[in-house]
Amino acid sequence: MQRNLLDTHTLIWFINGDTTLSNKVRQAVEANDTVNFVSIVSLWEIAVKVSLGKLELKTTYYKIYDQLIDNGFELLPITFEDTLIVSGLPFVHRDPFDRLIIAQAMNNNLIILSKDQHFSSYEATVLW
């Protein structure tokens, strides 16, 4: 069974039906034998960007949670172990949201679904 962790942009593109999402990633998310996780840090990042006016959603922020449930996504909480991994990551990527997503993927043996090329600099499996 494949276990995926959607990066924030991947989540937004999937929910919005955006064609920027690669076919490979869309198939990975929609496969029957797949468990898809969304980090709580992605929801935090979306909330911050919406409140700053840097991101517009096709729906309200509140309805994103319903869409996660409707699509069978599981929320991944932040653990102390995740923060320990973050503290040891090299600073190839400085985005704090992405660094935590990388750590969570490493800690939970998840495949990161992301277009971000910085992710491949870490000991994490990335699919795009």
CATH 3.10.350.10 holds for 2-127: no
The tokens describing 48, both together, are 């911050």
Q: For residue 98, give the 3-state DSSP assignment.
A: helix
Model confidence over 13-72: pLDDT tens digits?
999 889 999 999 999 999 999 999 999 999 999 999 999 999 988 888 889 999 999 999
Kindly report the length of the chain. 128
Note the pLDDT of residue 58. 85
Residues above pLDDT 90, as percent of the chain: 84
Cβ contact 10:25 at 8 Å: yes
What is this structure's pTM? 0.94
Domain ranges of the chain: 2-127
Cβ contact 126:17 at 8 Å: no
